[in-house]
Protein backbone atom coordinates (compact mmCIF):
# COMPACT_ATOMS: atom_id res chain seq x y z
CA UNK A 1 0.00 0.00 0.00
CA UNK A 2 1.34 3.40 -0.92
CA UNK A 3 0.82 6.17 1.55
CA UNK A 4 1.21 9.88 1.93
CA UNK A 5 -0.05 11.86 4.82
CA UNK A 6 -0.32 15.44 5.90
CA UNK A 7 -0.68 15.69 9.64
CA UNK A 8 -1.31 18.94 11.49
CA UNK A 9 1.79 20.86 12.56
CA UNK A 10 0.33 21.02 16.06
CA UNK A 11 1.49 17.47 16.82
CA UNK A 12 5.02 16.12 16.99
CA UNK A 13 6.68 14.16 14.22
CA UNK A 14 6.76 11.11 16.48
CA UNK A 15 3.02 11.32 17.09
CA UNK A 16 2.37 11.78 13.37
CA UNK A 17 4.53 8.75 12.57
CA UNK A 18 2.57 6.65 15.09
CA UNK A 19 -0.74 7.77 13.56
CA UNK A 20 0.43 6.89 10.04
CA UNK A 21 1.74 3.50 11.22
CA UNK A 22 -1.55 2.78 13.03
CA UNK A 23 -3.63 3.72 9.97
CA UNK A 24 -1.42 1.62 7.69
CA UNK A 25 -1.48 -1.50 9.88
CA UNK A 26 -5.23 -1.37 10.58
CA UNK A 27 -6.04 -0.73 6.92
CA UNK A 28 -3.81 -3.54 5.66
CA UNK A 29 -5.15 -6.02 8.20
CA UNK A 30 -8.83 -5.22 7.69
CA UNK A 31 -8.82 -4.89 3.90
CA UNK A 32 -6.69 -7.96 3.27
CA UNK A 33 -9.19 -10.04 5.26
CA UNK A 34 -12.30 -8.43 3.74
CA UNK A 35 -11.90 -5.86 0.92
CA UNK A 36 -15.59 -4.91 1.07
CA UNK A 37 -15.64 -4.16 4.81
CA UNK A 38 -15.77 -0.40 4.20
CA UNK A 39 -18.98 1.47 3.50
CA UNK A 40 -19.88 2.58 -0.02
CA UNK A 41 -17.98 5.80 -0.66
CA UNK A 42 -19.20 9.31 -1.37
CA UNK A 43 -17.19 9.24 -4.61
CA UNK A 44 -18.59 6.82 -7.19
CA UNK A 45 -16.77 3.50 -7.35
CA UNK A 46 -15.05 3.91 -4.00
CA UNK A 47 -15.38 2.53 -0.51
CA UNK A 48 -14.51 4.16 2.82
CA UNK A 49 -12.97 2.56 5.86
CA UNK A 50 -13.25 4.44 9.16
CA UNK A 51 -10.10 3.71 11.17
CA UNK A 52 -11.16 2.98 14.74
CA UNK A 53 -9.41 5.00 17.41
CA UNK A 54 -8.60 7.79 14.94
CA UNK A 55 -10.57 10.54 13.18
CA UNK A 56 -9.32 9.29 9.80
CA UNK A 57 -11.09 7.62 6.89
CA UNK A 58 -9.34 5.66 4.13
CA UNK A 59 -10.90 5.99 0.68
CA UNK A 60 -10.15 3.04 -1.59
CA UNK A 61 -11.20 1.03 -4.65
CA UNK A 62 -11.33 -2.72 -5.07
CA UNK A 63 -9.97 -3.64 -8.52
CA UNK A 64 -10.01 -7.35 -9.35
CA UNK A 65 -7.61 -8.81 -6.79
CA UNK A 66 -6.04 -5.50 -5.75
CA UNK A 67 -6.98 -2.74 -3.35
CA UNK A 68 -6.11 0.79 -4.46
CA UNK A 69 -5.89 3.25 -1.57
CA UNK A 70 -6.82 6.65 -2.96
CA UNK A 71 -6.33 8.88 0.06
CA UNK A 72 -6.53 9.12 3.83
CA UNK A 73 -8.46 12.07 5.16
CA UNK A 74 -9.62 13.46 8.47
CA UNK A 75 -13.33 12.75 8.78
CA UNK A 76 -14.16 16.40 9.52
CA UNK A 77 -12.68 17.66 6.25
CA UNK A 78 -14.69 18.13 3.06
CA UNK A 79 -14.34 15.30 0.54
CA UNK A 80 -13.04 15.99 -2.96
CA UNK A 81 -15.52 15.74 -5.85
CA UNK A 82 -13.51 13.01 -7.55
CA UNK A 83 -10.16 11.23 -7.48
Per-residue pLDDT tens, the chain, 83 aa: give them: 444 455 555 678 888 888 889 899 999 999 999 999 999 999 999 999 999 888 999 999 999 889 999 999 988 888 777 77
Pick from 41, 46, 54, 60: which is nearest to 3 by CA?
Answer: 60
Domain that holds residue 49: 13-74
Q: Could you tell me if residue 3 is inside a domain? A: no
Coarse DSSP helix, strand, coil percentages of the chain, rounded to the nearest 5 percent: 25, 30, 45
Q: What is the pTM of this model?
A: 0.76
Can you give the CATH number for the domain in which 41 is found?
3.30.2310.20
Distances from the Cα of 79 to the Cα of 17, 42, 76, 83, angstroms: 23, 8, 9, 10
Q: Could you tell me if residue 82 is inside a domain? A: no
Q: Could you tell me if residue 80 is inside a domain? A: no
Amino acid sequence: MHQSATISASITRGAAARIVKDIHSKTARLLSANPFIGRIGEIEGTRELVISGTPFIVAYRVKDTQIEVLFVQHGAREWPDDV
